[in-house]
Amino acid sequence: MGEFGIMFGSPILLNTNMRRYLILTFMAVMVALGMSAEKYNEMTYTKRSTTFTLVAEKAQAVQLNIYAEGTGGKAIKTVAMQKGAKGTWKAVVKGDLKGRFYTFNVKQGGKMLGETPGLFAKAVGVNGKRGAVIDMAATNPEGWDNDKALGYAPQDIIVYESHNRDFSVSRKDARYPGKFMALTEPWAIEHLKSLGVTAIHLLPSFDYASVDEEHLERAQFNWGYDPLNYNVPEGSYATDPFKPEVRVNEFKQMVKALHDAGIAVILDVVYNHTMDIDHSNFQLTNPGAFYRKNAEGKYNDGSGCGNETASEHPLMRQYMIESFNYWAKEYHLDGFRVDLMGIHDIETMNLIRQSLPKNVIIYGEGWSAGTCAYPAEKLAMKANTYQMPGIAAFCDDMRDAIRGPFSDDRESAFLAGKAGHQESIKAGIVGCIEHPQVDYSKVNYSKKPWAAEPTQMMAYVSCHDDMCLVDRLKTSMPGIKTDELIRLDLLAQTAVFTSQGVPFMLSGEEMLRDKKGVHNSYNSPDSINQLPWDNMKKYPQVFAYYQGLIALRKAHPAFRLGNAELVRKHVEFLPVEEGLVAFRLKDNAGGDAWKDIVVVLNANKYAAFVDVPEDTYTSVVAGGKVNLEGLRTTTTSRLEVPAQSALIVHN
């Protein structure tokens, strides 16, 4: 309160009642704006003064340094911050600080811990070493006030997982190859619109450590799973990483261009670990508070990246809630993909869910990369997804049943016609909810349903992790010819796009990308990671099929019922031999114009026959082709499904 008192108390002299009235009014406005709970608002700029705040609970002193540059040089001003309530330190610096940079330095245990831009910098200098004083309102592009999250229902989301550099770096006509701005370009927007996806999921696009932003002329590549500043866009994707406002503005331009095209924007967020522990902004402000320790008192490593954050700690929990909300509000994001979500606790994930607007989509990896220093039953693991309404988890059951296990790239599964994978694929078709015809004792990893609603399951066969689909097929089926590879690729994605879960695809699959067999391409050169845009001309049938499946899903609510009861009522599996999965979406499911839809996935190397009630059926997917108007109409009680392909018919 001290500060408001000073601001309001001078230069005009106010009596106590007026001051109290103004303070209460101000607080009411803060509450109305949803700002009351903010703990980590570290920098508030006005032309007259800038207010700095830092949570440093056990600090003996905190020094604020002001710099003219984002890197190098000496501090032009140093201020001793004042200790306030609840471990919060404050300083008000008079004058117009716009364009200046700052760091905090916490003294604890008798020593200075080292300079940090703070926990929650919203803008930084190059390489994220110093916070930047900018006027956030001035970063808004034209028309931003009218932009907002698209608010799609989860069953209407079709996710395209993309990396900012992969997507555009090899595109010859790109004006901004490898940058956020590439996604504002007509060719990019046209590609995504033509494919039909309704959401783009961007691999880490917050400020990460592993690409040197000062030397972008050097060949560098990283996925970005090494967080530095959680609340600032990454500098290497900006046209100028030295100017703090540029990346903020360009990220917003990207979001707006995508929103204008009807494409939601989902950010991959990585709160489960930091780049390193000793020099992280968490450790430089509140040593120990943000990380889990094991029974021996050592920092635990459930992330496989050297450390593991502690979402159950009040400081970390509050941090995550504020950070998610900051991105949703400031950047109008439509959703979040939570890296190693199984490291976070269920309660925190539910609090995050409740704090965000209803249709902001949240999904994550329901696993960790090592054993966590926290009880497994309290973690946001896949098996516990049903305890987190409105949060989805990736379905590795379906993924691995289709392509083969994550543990061995050389092993194949359903796509190779192998037996024993039907139940796992059926589980994936219903969204891993309880269903009378799915025997979970035969599902490969989960022995019971783990989702309460079908939209709590992400359906996919490939993502940035592990081999992409082409490489996986080549590795698990040695000697496979291109024709067969394409047939199986299309068959695999038919399972994904007809699932009652939320369909998800890796960018470039629609142009038959490969990564030259590289299993983990997190820092591989562009030659491995870039999209093969030339393939658009080489394999037009692949793009056309993906496009057709997506259009089919969008045109027919039967494929996206979005509700467990409806799925149990309308999705009926048909008895078939090994190497096949067949189901009916019956009785105008979800109000569909089509009475019954039959989907058959045939991975066998020979044509299969499936018995259906005798009627006149029109095929819309057959032999690697899609046509919503109908490919062929026949009256029959027996459907013939060509080898290694999907058939979809309706009556």
In whole angstroms, how close is the CB of 458 to Ca ion at the nearest point? 28
Structure tokens at 155: 């069953």
Q: Which CB, 49 or 220, lies closer to Ca ion?
A: 220
- Indicate the residue among 101 and 497 with the shorter CB distance to Ca ion: 101
Stretch 226-285 residues interacting with Ca ion (CB under 5 A) = 235
| Residue 207 makes contact with Ca ion by CB under 5 A | yes
The residue behind tokens 């707006």 is 256
Catalytic (active site) residue 339: yes
CB of 491 within 8 A of CB of 625? no
Residue 245 annotated to the active site? no
**Residues 62-65: contacts with CB within 8 Å, 24+ apart?**
62/89, 62/104, 62/105, 62/106, 62/107, 63/104, 63/105, 63/107, 63/112, 64/91, 64/93, 64/102, 64/103, 64/104, 65/102, 65/103, 65/104, 65/105, 65/115
Torsion of CA 244, 250, 256, 258, to 10 degrees: -140
Instruction: Please give the DSSP secondary-structure letter assigned to residue 420.
Output: S
Comparison of 235 and 503: residue with beta carbon closer to Ca ion: 235
Stretch that binds Ca ion, among 45-53, 203-211, 294-302, 585-593 (CB under 5 A): 203-211
**Residue 234 beta carbon to Ca ion: minimum distance, rounded to whole angstroms:** 5
Nearer to Ca ion, 234 or 489 (CB): 234
Nearer to Ca ion, 70 or 154 (CB): 70
Query: Which of these ranges, 104-112, 187-195, 204-212, 639-647, lies near Ca ion under the rule CB under 5 A?
Result: 204-212
Pairing of strands 227-233, 43-45: unpaired
Q: Where are the beta strands (DSSP E) in 205-309?
A: 206-208, 227-233, 264-269
Spell out the alpha helix ranges (H) of 133-211. 164-168, 186-195
Closer residue to Ca ion, CB minimum distance, 235 or 390? 235
Instruction: Choose between 82 and 239: whose C-beta lies nearer to Ca ion.
Output: 239
Closest approach of Ca ion to the CB of residue 127, in Å = 6
| Least gap, CB of 591 to Ca ion (angstroms) | 48
CA 444 to chain centroid: 25
Task: Tell me how far apart the 2 most distant CA atoms of the chain are, in Å.
Answer: 90
Q: Which of 245, 322, 339, 509 is catalytic?
A: 339
Smallest distance from Ca ion to CB 219, Å: 16
**Residue 501, token pair as written in the block:** 């879960």
Nearer to Ca ion, 166 or 234 (CB): 234
- Among residues 365, 400, 489, 596, the one annotated as catalytic is 365
Distance from C-alpha of 102 to C-alpha of 117, rounded to nearest angstrom: 7
Burial 283-322 (b: 16+ CB within 10 A, else e): bbbbbebbbbeeeeeebbbbbebebbbbbbbebbbbbbbb
Residue from 612, 616, 591 nearest 600 by CA: 612
Cα-based distances in Å from 40 to 25, 36, 296, 378 = 22, 11, 31, 26
Q: Which segment (19-27, 205-213, 243-251, 324-332) binds Ca ion by CB under 5 A? A: 205-213
d(CA 360, CA 370): 29
Instruction: Compute how many residues bind Ca ion; rule: CB under 5 A.
Output: 2
CB of 208 vs Ca ion, minimal distance in Å: 5
Q: What is the dihedral of CA 176, 179, 185, 191, to 10 degrees?
A: 120
Instruction: Measure the CA–CA gap between 348 and 345, rounded to whole angstroms.
Output: 6
Tokens of 251: 């990220």
Residue number of the CB atom closest to Ca ion: 207
Stretch that binds Ca ion, among 182-190, 202-210, 270-278, 526-534 (CB under 5 A): 202-210
Cβ distance to Ca ion smaller for residue 70 or 508: 70
What is the residue type of 332? H
Q: Which is nearer to Ca ion, 156 or 207 (CB)?
A: 207
The three-state (H, E, C) secondary structure of 89-134, written as one string: EEEEEECCCCCCEEEEEEEECCEEEEEECCCCCCCECHHHCCEECC
Enclosing H/E stretch for 552: helix 540-555
**Closest by Cα among 513, 520, 519, 517 to 486:** 513
**For the purposes of burial, counting CB atoms within 10 Å of the CB of 616, is it exposed (0-12), middle (13-18) or buried (19 or more)?**
exposed
Q: DSSP labels for 371-409?
A: --SS-GGGB--GGGGGGSTTEEEE-HHHHHHHH--TT-T
The least CB distance from residue 238 to Ca ion, in Å, is 10
CB of 211 to Ca ion, least distance (A): 6
Residues engaged in binding Ca ion (CB under 5 A): 207, 235
Q: Looking at the annotation, which residues are catalytic?
A: 339, 365
